Amino acid sequence: MPRTQPPSPPVAGPRSEGAPPRPVIDASWQRVSRDGVVPGQGTESERLDREVLEGRRR
């Protein structure tokens, strides 16, 4: 079993029935956006990362 998903509490069981993939997708998007592999946001994230890196380096 992958350890990417934390143990969900029993209280979020019936509530997460309607939107369980939403938090998982959000987490994956944030993780992928850092690598710049997300389609669409990959270019923007890469540009922002480069700007931050250049600003910190300078």
- Each residue of 1-58: pLDDT tens digit? 556 666 655 554 455 455 555 544 455 445 554 555 555 545 666 777 777 777 776 6
**In this predicted structure, what is the pLDDT of residue 36?**
52
**In this predicted structure, what is the pLDDT of residue 44?**
66
- Separation of alpha carbons 47 and 42, rounded Å: 9
**In this predicted structure, what is the pLDDT of residue 33?**
47
Amino acid, res. 33 = S
DSSP 13-57: HHHTTSSSHHHHHHHHHHHHHHHT-STTHHHHHHHHHHHHHHHHH
In 3D space, the residue among 52, 50, 2 whose CA is nearest the CA of residue 27 turns out to be 2
Domain boundaries, given as residue ranges, for the chain: 26-58
pTM of this prediction? 0.23
